[in-house]
Chain A
Amino acid sequence: MNDPIRRLSVVALVLFMALMGTATWIQVLNAHSLNEDPRNVRTLYREYGTYRGPIVVSGESVASSKEVDDSYGFQRTYSLGPVYAPVTGFYSIVYGRTALEQTENTLLNGTSDALFWSRLGDLFAGEQQQGASVETTIDADVQQAAYDALGDYAGAVVALDPSTGAIEAMVSTPSYDPNVLASHSTSDVNEAYSELINDESQPMLNRAIAQTYPPGSVFKLVVAAAALEEGYTADEKIAAPDVLELPDTSATIRNYEGESCDTDSDGDTTLADAIRVSCNTAFAQLGMDLGWDTIESMADDLGFEESIDVPLTTAASQLPDDPNEPQTAQSSIGQFDVRATPIQMAMVAAAIANDGVLMTPYLVDSVRSNSLQVIDTTEPSIFSNPFSEDTAAALTDAMVSVVEDGTGKNAQISGVEVAAKTGTAESGTDDPPYTWMVAFAPADDPEIAVAVLVEDGGEGATGGKIAAPIAKKVLQAALNGDS
């Protein structure tokens, strides 16, 4: 009987090896996909149980984790919650993460491959794994000024450093307080979330990057850039009738409140003047003369029809698809199917401010491990070269005249030359118009480029009335901080 016993003991061994095999499969080979499974609450609990790195703005934490005595171990808190909500997003036990909390998650929670050596250090030092801190490009003064300036309006402000693409402000109003969503009480979070999601003013919508609006007259900068690149000069005479009859239709285009932009009544104006007074008829005609393909190619170079990860993903700004002549005319003054995000329009301003070189916008400046060692620094990169330095200079001059003696006088800052362009776009038949301003300053050596959008400026609102004072405050905050 000894031989079958020996064989049976081999069978027993084989059975145990099969168990070891499946254990290896579960715990090592297939562990990653099991750990990533959204139903695996363990991953969440472990994440909540480790120290999550802060999100830092100008040296201060705007999102940080504090140790608490409950089953999660750490409580995420947001100082100045609503001001920075579009940047930080929220970190919820029920609804997951958004914005930087989401895009930088593996760095913040310490599981990123980039933190391997830091983790190894923690292991040998016998310390708990700790997340890295994410330092943003946001300038606290500019962000706060923009938030305060928007006040009760629904709108957005984006401020860029034209020479690097660093995002110095990203504000969206009305905002929300991420602290209520980071609560460890599931019922509180559910209640707060459903309130926010059902709020008609959409407080959780990041209007700065995730929503597109008709840019209105601000889009004339793109058309003007295309024209200048096509050989037009700033002083060139272009047709500027009081009423522009559109071909193939009975529709017409008029200027704002039926005004004339033809000062000497000779039926034309200069390109620079058309920008200064924001002449609709001149740009509609110019757009038709240039042809849509030329404008579209310029707009695409400036980032339209493309979604960028800053690392928050921006909505792609839209252009009409193969428009006919009247549609081209409408599109050339930023109406019809042209829609842009505030960050897109800030990029247009930044390209002009930076001599025709568009830098890729970015929000994360650097990442530091818990031992304050720099893990990663964002190197500014060129997004595109949409137009020449001459074109940029011509547009800058025209934009300076907008502020000095045009639609953007409300953006004047004493002692600083400001370049700007206003926009007032129809939002619908009865709703108040969307008002815009893009601006940069100082005009000769720009330090900051901003785009301001206000959704509900009220009856008779224009970019010059509503958006310009906001842009001015943002510019002032940026320039004061640097001096």
Chain B
Amino acid sequence: MATVSELRVHRGRRSEGWLLVLSWALAVLARGLVDYHADYLELDELAWYAAGFAGVLTVLHIVLRIFAPHSDQVLVPVVTGLIGIALAEIRRIDFAYAARGRETDFGTTQIGWALLGALAFIIVLIVIRDHRVLRRFTYTAGILGIVLYLLPAVPGLGKEINGAKIWIGVGGHSLQPGEFAKILLVIFFAGYLQTNRDALALAGPKFLGMRLPRMRDMGPLAVMFAAALLIMVNQKDLGAALLFFGIFIGMVYIATERISWVVIGLVLFVFGAIAAGVLFNHVGARYDAWLHALDADVYSSGRSEQLVRGLFGMASGGLFGTGLGNGRPDLVPYAESDFIIASLGEELGLTGLMAILTLYVILVQRAMRTAIGVRDGFGKLLSAGLGFAVTLQVFIIVGGVTRLIPLTGLTTPFLAYGGSSMLANWIVIALILRISDQARQPAANAAPKAEESGPRRRRPDLEEAPQR
């Protein structure tokens, strides 16, 4: 029985190098186009940007060669490609705002955030040399994660921006603690589930042809559900709660292979979401703005105006877009952050949007591939959990902007303007690469030393870190 899919061993990181060149070209071309259409093209400034971008990519590449030489070669180019496009678009939105007399400098600030994110990425890769050390912090991460999630509810600390209470104000800056909580919770779930998966997977009563878990094992699910509800009510929207609960359900499913957990979880969530809509006016209003977005009274009341303006923008982009710099993304409020995907949809068209979504698909599939490749259960859960977290986050925000689900205030990873999201998502990529490095190590030195004498288990494909 094949326990671990063998991955081809690559010598060096040449593929990554070429892909990075590609992402560099994309970023520089996009910025050049934006400057050109804004009649702002100064070649020496563009040259500095190109040189700086190339420098950062080189540093990233060298760090990876040294500290994670076997890790996945596609992830970082995908990320830098996304960032390159977004930096151009955000700069373009600055120009659009400037044309209407609103001075903003999101573009330059975002470059700073991207650099800071890359730095965090490098630090994580250097400091965490084996992802399994994170398992030691399972419960610390869990508690910290919940605390971070609930921080915006603290009076005086929490800030409400654009109708979502997912911010805290620290020294004049706004932070989205939920972005970091997301990572901590995935670490917590991975550790917790790895330890308790056997109990959770035990068979309980049969119901509707489905094997239910035992009632006494439902405790953690109930706690998580309650936490999700709390988040939803507190933050006035579905997004963070859906992300939080979705990650949990997904990871429970991976750990237990029991579809019954998913069904119970989904039923609970749908029930909770409906109940919240009935009980709390502001949640109900959000549903209303979603279902009846184009109705005259809902639109004129302003509840769905942002959403509908985003739809108008995307529609005007059509199949091929207006072209970078030729649309009017500034007509949508928060075009540079929450609605960056609508801005990109307008200027790059459906074609561009498909390409961006495909980049996310590649990113997520590489994370999943890493999960399949790595040997220890904690690593599997962590990598798949992070991959699924990115999936859900993109789905929730892009789904909200495209009116697939109610609109919520999550950020689009690597695209949206904002530091918290940029930093957190770079850390996600660092963790996946760290796991990937282990998964793809040549067989000779792959097996971690401590595990070599470990007893064979009933399911040998589930090797895991030693129990403490």
Interface string of A15-43 (1 = CB under 8 A from B): 11011101110111011001101011111
Provide the residues of chain A in CB contact with B372, threshold 8 Å: 2, 5-6
Report if A23-B371 is in contact (Cβ < 8 Å); known contacts: A5-B380, A16-B361. Answer: no
Q: In the complex, A6 Cα to B331 Cα: how many Å?
A: 41
Q: Is the CB of A5 within 8 A of B391?
A: no
Task: Give A283 Cβ to nearest chain B Cβ, in Å.
Answer: 54
B328: which of A2, A18, A42 is its contact (CB, 8 Å)?
A42
Asked if B384 lies at the interface with its beta carbon under 8 angstroms from chain A, I say: yes
Provide the residues of chain A in CB contact with B381, threshold 8 Å: 1
Report if A42-B331 is in contact (Cβ < 8 Å); known contacts: A18-B404, A27-B345. Answer: yes
Q: Is the CB of A1 within 8 A of B462?
A: yes
Interface string of B282-321 (1 = CB under 8 A from A): 0000000000001000010000000010011111111100
Asked if A45 lies at the interface with its beta carbon under 8 angstroms from chain B, I say: yes
Task: Give A405 Cβ to nearest chain B Cβ, in Å.
Answer: 65
Provide the residues of chain A in CB contact with B350, threshold 8 Å: 23-24, 27-28
How many residues of B sit at the interface, in one of the four size bands? 35 or more
A1: which of B294, B314, B349, B377 is its contact (CB, 8 Å)?
B377
Q: In the complex, A177 Cα to B220 Cα: how many Å?
A: 75
Q: In the complex, A285 Cα to B89 Cα: how many Å?
A: 81
A16: which of B311, B371, B388, B395 is its contact (CB, 8 Å)?
B395
Stretch at the interface among B103-111, B249-257, B429-437: B249-257
Q: Is the CB of A8 within 8 A of B402?
A: no
Report if A22-B100 is in contact (Cβ < 8 Å); known contacts: A9-B365, A13-B365, A46-B316. Answer: no
Q: In the complex, A39 Cα to B310 Cα: how many Å?
A: 12
Asked if B387 lies at the interface with its beta carbon under 8 angstroms from chain A, I say: yes
Stretch at the interface among B64-72, B73-81, B166-174, B352-360: B352-360
Provide the residues of chain B in CB contact with A4, threshold 8 Å: 253-254, 257
Provide the residues of chain A in CB contact with B377, threshold 8 Å: 1
Asked if A3 lies at the interface with its beta carbon under 8 angstroms from chain B, I say: yes
Task: Give B385 Cβ to nearest chain A Cβ, in Å.
Answer: 9
Task: Give A72 Cβ to nearest chain B Cβ, in Å.
Answer: 11
Q: Is the CB of A35 within 8 A of B315?
A: yes
Interface string of B370-393 (1 = CB under 8 A from A): 011000010011001001100110
Task: Give A39 Cβ to nearest chain B Cβ, in Å.
Answer: 7
Report if A26-B402 is in contact (Cβ < 8 Å); known contacts: A5-B384, A15-B395, A39-B308. Answer: yes
How many residues of A sit at the interface, in one of the four size bands? 35 or more
Provide the residues of chain A in CB contact with B319, threshold 8 Å: 27-28
Q: Which A residue sits closest to B312, measured CB to CB? A: A40
Asked if B37 lies at the interface with its beta carbon under 8 angstroms from chain A, I say: no
Q: Is the CB of A8 within 8 A of B388?
A: yes
Provide the residues of chain B in CB contact with A34, threshold 8 Å: 311-312, 315-316
Report if A42-B394 is in contact (Cβ < 8 Å); known contacts: A1-B257, A16-B360, A23-B345. Answer: no
Q: In the complex, A5 Cα to B255 Cα: how many Å?
A: 9
Provide the residues of chain B in CB contact with A23, threshold 8 Å: 314, 345, 350, 353-354, 357, 402
Provide the residues of chain B in CB contact with A37, threshold 8 Å: 294, 312
Interface string of B390-434 (1 = CB under 8 A from A): 011011001100111000000000000000000000000000000
Q: In the complex, A30 Cα to B402 Cα: how many Å?
A: 12
Q: Is the CB of A3 within 8 A of B257?
A: yes
Provide the residues of chain A in CB contact with B254, threshold 8 Å: 1, 4-5, 8
From 425 to 468 in chain B, residues with beta carbon under 8 angstroms from any chain A beta carbon are 461-462
From 325 to 360 in chain B, residues with beta carbon under 8 angstroms from any chain A beta carbon are 327-328, 331, 345, 349-350, 353-354, 357, 360
Q: Is the CB of A12 within 8 A of B317?
A: no
Q: Which B residue sits closest to A25, measured CB to CB? A: B402
Interface string of A66-77 (1 = CB under 8 A from B): 000001000000
Asked if B5 lies at the interface with its beta carbon under 8 angstroms from chain A, I say: yes
Q: Which B residue sits closest to A37, measured CB to CB? A: B312
Closest 10 CB pairs of A and B: A34-B315, A9-B368, A27-B350, A22-B402, A12-B391, A31-B315, A40-B312, A15-B395, A4-B254, A22-B404
List, sorted by A's number, 15 A–B pairs whose CB atoms are closer than 8 Å.
Answer: A1-B381, A1-B462, A2-B5, A8-B253, A9-B387, A12-B391, A16-B361, A18-B399, A19-B404, A23-B314, A27-B317, A28-B350, A40-B312, A42-B312, A45-B328
User: A12-B364, A19-B395 given. 13 additional CB < 8 A pairs?
Assistant: A1-B255, A2-B380, A4-B257, A8-B250, A12-B387, A16-B361, A16-B391, A19-B402, A20-B354, A20-B357, A23-B353, A34-B311, A40-B312
